Amino acid sequence: MTINRVLPTYQQTRMAPAVNTRDLEYLVAVAEELHFGRAAARCNASQPALSGQVRKLEERLGAKLFERTKRRVALTGIGRQVVNQARDILRGVVALEQLAAAHKDPFVGTCRLGMPPTIGPYLTPLLLRAVKHYLPQLRLELIEDFTDHLEDQLDAGELDLAILATSPTRANLAEIVLYDEPFWIAMPGDHPLTRQDAVDVTQLPPGELLLLSDGHCLRDQIYDACKLDRARESGDGGPRTQKTSLSTILALVGAGEGVTLVPAMSLASGWVTDAGIAVRREESGTAGRTVRLTHRKGYPRMALTEKLADLIAAGLPNTVNPARR
């Protein structure tokens, strides 16, 4: 009698639809968006189809993963645990697919490459030309974001590689050093320091410095180079202005609003010829950054990683110092 009761349950479990990766993608999307409509749009699915699959998944697992009301969607306690497990499974599936693809040909297919906005606009044209010529079957997907966000995406398997100006902080990430890049000084054309061929960073009045907003690694690097006090508020005797893009900062420099430090790679851009801006070499040699190609440890397409590092090094201008020859 006991056997007869257990057997149907066992059979039903075996006959229940298996959980597939699409179900897990729907689950993670809803958990991150906390909105079924946005999750459906993100997954290129209809909202009824996505909602139905999530409900079937809950039935399959025998657990309520979301609390739903007309106004909000929230994860349950078990829902958070299941979502974390789902992310691990999806990362494993991506790694499995990459391993198989790399076994066939690491130079074919898609490579998702992240860069912060203070590197991407200057390095991307050089990289795209080289990839088009030497890796014609490789499709680069370029993602621009803050360094911390790029590390998160790389760690989660959402990116294949990232070009960063800081060493990775996560234990499962490694780096290939690409080049050392000095900073140059951009100032209004009528600034007194334009009389010098080179300017020591310590000569820059802190109250005139224009900096990017928090979140940009370039901001932190300028703080370090100029030995500025991060605890000091903006205003007299400290950085006065924060903007979200380097092009906006340079526009302010051209308007006579202050001075800033710029990466050497940016000197090839059109802003250098704009009226009102003068650039000078930084004399002390202490202001600069090291740019790296960052990857996960054990990344299966290391042959591609090394090839991209070589292509970048080969196309660099003489304003930077490549680590690979």
How many C-beta atoms surround the C-beta of residue 30 within 10 A?
A: 27
Q: Is residue 40 part of a domain?
A: yes
Q: Taking all residues of the chain, what is their mean pLDDT, rounded to a whole number? A: 86
Cα distance between residue 24 and residue 29, in whole Å: 8
pLDDT of 71 higher than 60: yes
CA 140 to chain CA centroid, nearest Å = 14
pLDDT of 201 higher than 50: yes
Token pair recorded at residue 159: 């990116």
Which positions ≥6 away from 16 have C-beta within 8 Å?
60
- Read off the pLDDT of residues 33-70 as tens digits, 9 standing for 90 and up: 999 999 999 999 999 999 999 999 999 999 999 999 88
Residues 54 and 195 in one domain: no
**Residue whose tokens read 């697992």:** 61
Residues 275 and 226 in one domain: yes
CATH number at residue 19: 1.10.10.10
Q: Is residue 103 part of a domain?
A: no
Contact of 297 with 277, CB cutoff 8 Å: no
The rounded radius of gyration (Å) of the Cα atoms in the chain is 26
Question: Among 61, 96, 131, which residue terminates a domain?
Answer: 96
Residues 220 and 253 in one domain: yes
Q: How many structural domains comprise the chain?
A: 2
- Read off the pLDDT of residues 130-186 as tens digits, 9 standing for 90 and up: 999 999 999 999 999 999 999 999 999 999 999 999 999 999 999 999 999 999 999
Residues 60 and 121 in one domain: no
Q: Is residue 247 part of a domain?
A: yes
The pLDDT, as a whole number, for residue 228 is 64
Q: Model-level pTM greater than 0.75?
A: no
Residues 88 and 136 in one domain: no
Parent domain of 56: 2-96
pLDDT of 6 higher than 50: no
- Read off the pLDDT of residues 91-105 as tens digits, 9 standing for 90 and up: 888 888 877 877 788
Q: Is residue 128 part of a domain?
A: yes
Contact of 77 with 67, CB cutoff 8 Å: no
pLDDT of 243 higher than 60: no
pLDDT band at 233 (very low <50, low <70, confident <90, very high): very low
The pLDDT, as a whole number, for residue 235 is 46
Residues 156 and 297 in one domain: yes
Token pair recorded at residue 108: 């074919």
pLDDT of 78 higher than 90: yes
Residues 78 and 125 in one domain: no
Residues 176 and 318 in one domain: yes
- Read off the pLDDT of residues 15-26 as tens digits, 9 standing for 90 and up: 556 788 999 999
Residues 323 and 231 in one domain: yes
Question: Among 73, 96, 119, which residue terminates a domain?
Answer: 96
CATH number at residue 219: 3.40.190.290
